[in-house]
A and B are shown apart, each in its own frame.
Chain A
């Protein structure tokens, strides 16, 4: 595969390094020194130039490229680069953006700006924070269909209230599907009367709210509920998105923002969040607000230094768990060494998402479970797909494999699959399937 990567920053370099072994990679960077340097670091070709200019892209032979990844720090450059690439050839374009606005626009057609797949670093970071905070009991969590659907894998402890129940008893939620159980290295496709045993690993697919509610049933001790205190320090875009996603899961966080106008804006946008206007690095204030008694502190300030300070203060006051956003990848280990429980690096999260996507190949989105025994795939059904017009029951019967339809999204709305739900062209389906059947299934979509 011929891959062009624009931008040789942390994200671009990380992606290029990952793809270099199996593919022909061309990296474009505007800084000639950086381009020159990368030539020796990685087994890739490098070009110095503006990734959004036609001449540079023609030099990089974008016309013959299979994949084009725009991963600079600047949203607009990435969008223009993808748009330009589409005029030169027809590579699959991936754009990295910071702004959630562009993502929302893109989601409306999934081809806006000439972008085939958009990775929003702020939203992704917020999602990973929310997974850490909201689903601490989960072994693995992945978003599908742009965050409308969530897949989570849980290990069933002996003291879990769910242990010993049947699937029908445990799955009390309207928009949740019990996709699969792993027991002693075997996949069990659950039926209503399948009993859940201690030590099983359960895979559920559904709306983020229902997954959150299920986690609450499964591990009430660990999973935060309304009574738990979650404090977000810093009303940056990531802080805002984190609060918004937590609200969507029925939690009511507190958010501390120093800037008067920003605090007001946040309070208007987040009806379920208690917004406070104060300097979050003021120890007296943190003590007065009993941050020490909160279950989670999330530091999402705009600079790494301030995040470090806020996290250390929270830890010193005695907060249980502290999650911090770390912009500079080199600091991640440093943060974790000082005792911050999880350090989320937006660039790393973005690079991982893009790499995960390039691996998928056949699918829109993919999550690999239990040493590749099974996978959860997201596929978009095309007009001429064999599955269009089939009901779920017919589709499942027609495919000779172990497979569960976890969720369907149509026009950006979640549909919980039932036996008689009919599949339509354009639907995104999220399917739990044994790894050996992935290719067969993908060919049908």
Chain B
């Protein structure tokens, strides 16, 4: 049996999504107007995006979205959106020294021209994919308003905000034609093994989730801006407040400041910490909380584990830092014996890395080996299902550990029937198998990525340490952002060869969609052709 898919229906709906994506470029356009910057970059970007969108839409004027088309749509739309997202980077950087700008050096041989063109396109795609997938890894090189416009840096922040709760979820909320197979679409896109329908209508569920997401974002922006108004954080102007509001809730990690959150004082850092932690919680739980069902949240096994893990790991890291695990650094570094600083740095780094945000207040790449290794461990955990966080996710770890314990127990007593339970609920055996397969795939891809990146880098003469290579792979597939060593929180991915960057683009894409939808489409397609 051939795996038949009406590709044109999927591509046509991708066109619709791109059309709406063009509309969001109005925000950076407005920023350009306010800061009296070059407005043409975004005007042209909008025109190109609309043209692509309308063009693709025409492929199938009445797209009929079945379950297979939905699966394909989710996979290709994240790639398509990332591709369209490169347009402003390429245009804005044209003729400048920007690493992501369109470079057309004249007068050299054709090979050199193509090479330079290729590099800039790969860089722009990396930055765009890193944005939409809320990874936060950057190849921008020098981040400053001298080098890049306010508008472009705001676009970079905005891509993360759009990607956080999910582009498809947003589209389901506003496009009636996507509601038919909305549940299938959402379960492919939303992080976590299971889809939670809050209301009978999927569009209402999507709307509820986006409104909660929007609500938290607005709350954070107001809090941050208030800090600057009352003089507690003068550097946090409206632009910065919005920019960081855009990347905290989606567990993004981009910042228009070269020093990330270290550019701001302790007060700002303390305000951002709870919001980063909130971003890693299942947003459906806040919906229950708003309806007064406090118990649903408090009794949720994943939430309890997530909160517990953050508390314990933060406590351990605080102690490590307190005992001098980090040499005193200029950028918000810790000094031995300063309790508040140790606690704040620990809470911030864990809040940022455990659920894959990727902000930084300290260059943990300079910390002692054991503290770095401890952070690496935290990166493996991930956020909760239904949150904006990346990684393996707390719920999967819970199920995997319980499934392993069950397996060991039934090896000794083969007659015992023991379902895997989560907070009193029985987890379906198919779901258990899916979760185990996902976790295994995650680690296979992680190791494969690390090996490829290490060898590929050596090819162009860049020697990586094992920790750096593993962290590059983990930071991209887990949508975390910063790694260790050269990839530290104030470092950059710029030095990698193009081939490695392309692999990382794929890893980010796979990581955001939780591997299975993308690979399922590929495997089903390839096996049937072969």
Binding site for B on A (CB under 8 A): 256-257, 263-264, 266-268, 271, 274-278, 285, 289
- Across the interface, name the chain A residue whose C-beta is closest to B428: A268
Number of A-B contacts (CB under 8 A): 28
Chain A nearest CB, measured from B264 CB (Å): 49
Q: Would you call B426 an interface residue if the criterion is a C-beta within 8 Å of the partner chain's C-beta atoms?
A: yes
Report B407-427 CB contacts with A as 1/0, cut-off 8 Å: 000000101111101001010
User: Looking at the complex, which one of B413, B417, B424, B426 makes contact with A263 (CB distance below 8 Å)?
Assistant: B417
CB pair A267 B418 closer than 8 Å:
yes
23 of the cross-chain contacts (CB-CB < 8 Å) are A256-B415, A257-B417, A263-B417, A264-B417, A264-B419, A266-B417, A267-B417, A267-B418, A267-B419, A268-B426, A271-B421, A271-B424, A274-B416, A274-B418, A275-B416, A275-B418, A276-B413, A276-B416, A276-B417, A277-B415, A277-B417, A278-B415, A289-B415
Complex interface: chain A residues within 8 A of B413 (CB) = 276
Other CB < 8 Å A-B pairs besides A276-B416, A277-B415, A278-B415, 11 of them?
Answer: A256-B415, A264-B417, A267-B417, A268-B419, A271-B424, A274-B416, A274-B418, A275-B416, A276-B415, A277-B416, A289-B415
B interface size (C-beta, 8 A): 9
A313 to B323 CA separation, bound complex (whole angstroms): 66
Q: Which residues on A sit within 8 Å (CB–CB) of B416?
A: 274-277
Instruction: Tell me the residues in window 382-435 of chain B with beta carbons closer than 8 Å to chain A beta carbons.
Output: 413, 415-419, 421, 424, 426
Complex: A277 Cα to B410 Cα, angstroms? 11
Q: Which residue on B lies nearest to A235, using beta carbons?
A: B417
- For the complex formed, measure the closest distance between the CB of B120 and the CB atoms of chain A, giving whole angstroms: 56
Residue from the set A257, A268, A271, A275 with the largest chain B CB neighbour count within 10 Å: A268
Q: Which single residue of chain B is at the shortest CB-CB distance from A271?
A: B421
Chain B residue with minimal CB distance to A256?
Answer: B415
Alpha-carbon distance between A53 and B497 when the two chains are bound, in angstroms: 85
A285 touches B417 (CB 8 A): no
**What distance in Å separates the Cβ of B258 from its nearest Cβ neighbour in chain A?**
54
Residues of B bordering A, CB below 8 Å: 413, 415-419, 421, 424, 426
Considering the chains assembled together, what is the distance between the CA atoms of A268 and B422 in angstroms?
11
A277 to B424 alpha-carbon distance, docked (Å): 22
A193 CA to B418 CA, complexed, in Å = 49
Q: Tell whether, in the assembled complex, residue B424 and residue A275 are in contact, meaning their CB atoms are under 8 Å apart.
A: no
Chain B min CB distance to A285 (Å): 7
Distance in angstroms between the alpha carbons of A267 and B417 in the assembled complex: 6
Residue on B with the closest CB to A257? Answer: B417
Tell me, in angstroms, the Cα distance from A256 to B419 when the chains sit together: 15
Q: Which of B413, B419, B424, B426 has the most CB of A within 10 A?
A: B419
CA distance A419 to B511 in the complex (A): 63
B421 contact set on A, CB distance < 8 A: 271
Q: Which residue of A lies closest to B421 (CB)?
A: A271
Using known A-B contacts A268-B426, A271-B424, determine if residue A285 contacts B419 with beta carbons closer than 8 Å: no
CA distance A266 to B416 in the complex (A): 12
Q: Could you tell me the distance between the alpha carbons of A274 and B415 in the complex, rounded to whole angstroms? A: 10
| Chain B hits for A257, CB < 8 A | 417
CA distance A301 to B484 in the complex (A): 62
Which chain B residue shows the least CB distance to A277? B417
Measured CB to CB, the closest approach of chain B to A280, in angstroms, equals 10
Residues of B within 8 A of A264 (CB): 417, 419
B421 to chain A, nearest CB (A): 6
For the complex, give the distance between the alpha carbons of A175 and B413 in Å: 39
Least Cβ distance of B376 to chain A in Å?
Answer: 36
Chain B residues near A256 (CB-CB < 8 A): 415
10 A-B pairs with least C-beta separation: A276-B415, A267-B417, A268-B426, A275-B417, A278-B415, A263-B417, A268-B419, A277-B417, A267-B419, A276-B416
Q: Write the chain A residue with the least CB distance to B413.
A: A276
Nearest CB of B to A275, in Å:
4
> With A and B bound together, what is the CA distance between A65 and B418 in angstroms?
52
Q: Which residues of B contact A276 (CB under 8 A)?
A: 413, 415-417
Give chain B residues whose Cβ lies under 8 Å from the Cβ of A277: 415-417
Which chain B residues lie closer than 8 Å to A271 at the CB level? Answer: 421, 424
Complex Cα gap A267–B415 (Å): 12
Residues of A within 8 A of B419 (CB): 264, 267-268
